[in-house]
Amino acid sequence: MKPIPWILKFILLSILTLSIVGSINFILDPLQQYRKAHFYKPIYDNERYLNPGLAKTYEYNQVIIGSSMTENFILSDAKEILGFNKPIKFCMSGATAYEIKIMLDSAYQHRKIDSVIYGVDLFSFTGETTRLFDGEGSLPFYLYDNNRLNDYRYLLSFDTLKFFVDSFVLPKPEVMFDLNRMYQWQHKSNEDDFNGTDRLDEWSEKYGFNPDYSKSEFTLKALKANIDTNLIPLIQNHPETTFYLFYPPYSILAFKDMENKGWLNTVELFKRHLLTQLAHYPNVKIYDFQASKEVTCNLDNYKDLLHYHQRINRWMLEEMKKENYLTSDKGKFGRLNRSLISNIHGCGIQ
């Protein structure tokens, strides 16, 4: 063959092949960026990619958002207990405060949101204020904006096709297809995994509860900066939304570990800062479930030193309704904080 026809064929067929793959990805749209799935049962997986799609294509009035501490909430529980009518979850495993802000900003562009349940996981607030959980490039910003032109990254991607095949062709547990239980991890563990004896073993082996976090990252400066940049503006800009902020009840062993690492004071100052910054906003409720002896001291609630059983998620919704753990003023704040400290030594766990 002469070079010119070879070159032309190469270029034209490349363009053709890429257009075909792009069109297939557009039609399959496994991450529901353009429309709600209708000819297949969608899977709720790969949160950072699926969330911005759902934000555009699903109907919702309430949002549950946060790290793995929020992934086990069941939407029907939120309807039943808090009277939500159209809730959705935009949780992200290992979510950072920045990622949560990006996600909520995106959701606000598409829908009116009357309530947000926001899991204030301390670890979400560590590090830089633009920290992404899995490093640079791990959040597909091109799906979070309103610009369709940059979606070629989604369409011209073999991974999009792979995601379709992997999710819909290969067998997966039924619960992953259930919108009501979207993103939950409860089913990945056995009931036996929630076991106090194992937790004590884990503790006695001095297995730091989260070795990924070094002491230097857990600084008050970083925690405060994340509150100021990634949380407060959301609340300021959306007075129409009620924010249910809550501190997830890690096991008491996690707090013992924090005490050993000298972090407890930082935790208190972090919470105090959040309260002082937000006390005068009528659209915020802050719940401190870390003060709850009945949850944190019962190690059978935990599958590791941080992560609690799904029943605790339901319990938290009930407690939000009852407002027992609401830290509305400095007096209430002090009482809750004192009970957290006294639990560390008063649970009868040595």
Partner 1 sequence: MLFNSYEFIFFFLPITFGIYFWLNKKRLTSASKGWMVFASLFFYSWWNVIYLPLILGSILFNFTVGSSITHINTTHLLKKRLSSKSLLTFGIFANVLLLVYFKYMDFFITNANTFAGTHFNMMHIVLPLGISFFTFTQIAYLVDAYRNEVKEMDYLNYTLFVTFFPHLLAGPILHHKEMMPQFDDIRNKVLNTKNISAGMYLFAIGLFKKVVIADTFAIWASYGYNHTASISLMSAWATSLSYTFQLYFDFSGYTDMALAVALLFNIKLPINFNSPYKALNIQDFWRRWHMTLSRFLRDYIYIPLGGNRGGEFRTYSNLFTVFLVGGLWHGASWMFVIWGALHGVAIVTHRLWQQMGLKMNTMLAWFITFNFINITWIFFRAKGWDDAVNILSGMFGLNGIEEVSDLLEFGGLSTIDLFMMGVVFILGISTFFTPNSNQLVSSLRLTNKSMVFGLFLMCMGVLHLSKISTFLYFNF
Residues binding partner 1 (CB under 8 A): 1-4, 6-7, 9-11, 13-14, 17-18, 21, 46, 49, 68, 71, 93-94, 133-134, 137-138, 140, 152-154, 156-163, 165-166, 170, 185, 304, 307
SS (H, E, C) 100-114: HHHHHHHHHHHCCCC
- Of 104, 111, 113, 106, which is closest to residue 147 (Cα–Cα)? 106
Instruction: Name the amino acid, one letter, at 168.
Output: F
- Closer CB to partner 1, residue 31 or residue 316? 31
Q: Which of 247, 245, 345, 248 is nearest to 297 (CA)?
A: 345
Least distance to partner 1 from the beta carbon of 135, Å? 9
Of the pair 7, 179, the CB lying nearest partner 1 is at 7
Nearer to partner 1, 45 or 259 (CB): 45
CB of 100 to partner 1, least distance (A): 16
Among 345, 348, 340, CA closest to 293:
340
**Residue 71 or residue 288: which is nearer to partner 1 going by CB?**
71
Q: What is the DSSP string of 280-343?
A: T-TTEEEEEGGG-HHHHT-GGGBSSSSPBPHHHHHHHHHHHHHTTTB--SHHHHHHHHHHHHHH
In 3D space, the residue among 94, 89, 92, 120 whose CA is nearest the CA of residue 107 turns out to be 89
Closer residue to partner 1 (CB): 68 or 251: 68
Nearest distance from C-beta of residue 211 to partner 1, angstroms: 9
- Give 140 or 196: the residue with its C-beta nearer to partner 1: 140
φ, ψ of residue 219 in degrees (nearest 5): -105, 150
- Phi-psi map region of 242: left, alpha, beta (phi>0 left; psi -120 to 50 alpha): beta
Minimal distance, residue 192 CB to partner 1, in Å = 18
Structure tokens at 36: 């709600």
CB of 24 to partner 1, least distance (A): 11
CB of 188 to partner 1, least distance (A): 9
Q: Which is nearer to partner 1, 94 or 196 (CB)?
A: 94
| CA angle centred on 323, ends 78 and 120, rounded to 5° | 70
CB 162, min distance to partner 1, A:
5
Instruction: Answer whether 138's CB lies under 8 Å from 132's CB.
Output: yes
